[in-house]
Amino acid sequence: MRSKRIVLHDEEKLKRINPETMKIFQRYKVDMTMRNLSPRTQKHYTYDLQQWFIYVYDNQDNRSVKELNDEDITEFLYFCTSEGNNAERIKARTSAISALYKFMRKKRMIVENPTEFIDRPRRGMRITKQTYLTPEQVALMRERLIDTKDLQLRTYAMLSLSTMARASAIASIRWDQIDLEGKIIKGVLEKEGKIVDLFFSDEVKYLLVQLKEQRAEKHRDDHGWLFFSGRNTDKPVNTGTLNDWSKRIGSMIGVPTLHPHDFRHSGATLLKNAGMSLEDVSVLLSHESTDVTKKYYIKEDTGRISSIKSNYNI
């Protein structure tokens, strides 16, 4: 089946794309020419990258490509999927973005390529859209995580769902930022260098206390980091590891494509459907306006809407 065409091209917006992004892009176009890539390949890569730049301009504060991470790129790919792109088209878009980051890494502009943490769809594979965990799935997740007896994994899942923080923020949390009594994590670094506070539930408070006590009993020195992987306790966990943890959790509940950002979308939707105002959910997500929250983070409760409509008998 032919992929649906998405039109994002806008000459006026292209003139206002982040200057650092455009400077890197111009260098990359020279590199493509020097490597004798075919005019057709250069045309396709340029088209796909410019569409991505416009999406970032419209939805991600026009940040530089150097500031974007795997979650930001995945958000764009989810958008393309929801607009009708098939697996082959998503794979092509990912290749174009990945090639740019490979160039940037080769030129020592970045330390790691964020697309390395994104799973590319295989030929004929159905693209899984953004996952919004239901209350039933959350209950099952809680049950399965208890069975694993992996307290760090359990804390990660419930903290991510409760705070709705991005993976990069979760990875950077230190114990001295956590106010257990107030149920607040203070001064967390978010996108664009924003410093935000995260708010968590009583359940998460209990898990944090248990995790701290467990490490003390086992004499595990975490060097102040909330999460770490393997024996490397002197450095925080990275987002790639959090992606692996999410997939492991997803496999327990029949959602093998579960991604760290899914906790953010799921938490927002669960709060909104439980009665929290859109404005308050938007504040917790650190969004500049409710427009982004409503368009990309909230899945409407169709059962509730159907029930309300039935009262009007029209």
Domain span holding position 186: 135-303
CATH label of the domain that carries residue 45? 1.10.150.130
The length of the chain is 314
If one counts every other C-beta atom within 10 angstroms of the C-beta of residue 186, the result is 13
CATH label of the domain that carries residue 238? 1.10.443.10
Residue-wise pLDDT tens digits, 18-62: 999 999 999 999 999 998 888 999 999 999 999 999 999 988 889
Question: Do residues 141 and 270 share a domain?
Answer: yes
In a domain, 272, yes or no: yes
Q: How far is CA 224 from CA 199, 227, 233, in A?
A: 20, 9, 9
Question: Do residues 149 and 282 share a domain?
Answer: yes
- Output the pLDDT for position 249: 97
Question: Do residues 94 and 139 share a domain?
Answer: no
Question: Do residues 103 and 162 share a domain?
Answer: no
| Cβ–Cβ < 8 Å for 49, 25 | yes
**What is the three-class DSSP state of 222?**
coil
Question: Do residues 45 and 95 share a domain?
Answer: yes
Tally of domains in the chain: 2
Question: Do residues 145 and 23 share a domain?
Answer: no
- Output the pLDDT for position 306: 67
In a domain, 312, yes or no: no
Which residues is 196 bridged to in the sheet?
Answer: 188
pLDDT beyond 60 at 127: no
Give residue 78's Cα distance to chain centre. 10
How far apart CA 1 and CA 174 sit, in angstroms, is: 48
Q: How far is CA 234 from CA 78, 166, 167, 231, 298, in A?
A: 34, 22, 19, 9, 37
In a domain, 28, yes or no: yes
Question: Do residues 285 and 183 share a domain?
Answer: yes
How far apart CA 297 and CA 270 sit, in angstroms, is: 10
In a domain, 232, yes or no: yes
Question: Do residues 92 and 153 share a domain?
Answer: no
Question: Do residues 143 and 110 share a domain?
Answer: no
Read off the pLDDT band of 123 (50, 70, 90).
low
- Output the pLDDT for position 10: 84
| Cβ–Cβ < 8 Å for 141, 156 | no
In a domain, 36, yes or no: yes
In a domain, 177, yes or no: yes
Question: Do residues 144 and 34 share a domain?
Answer: no
How far apart CA 241 and CA 235 sit, in angstroms, is: 12
Question: Do residues 110 and 174 share a domain?
Answer: no
In a domain, 227, yes or no: yes
Question: Do residues 82 and 225 share a domain?
Answer: no
- Please tell me the least confidently modeled range out of 5-14, 173-182, 218-227: 5-14
Q: What is the rounded average pLDDT of the residues 203-216?
A: 97
At 187, give phi and psi (nearest 5°). Answer: 60, 45
| Cβ–Cβ < 8 Å for 64, 21 | yes
Q: What is the rounded average pLDDT of the residues 171-194?
A: 89
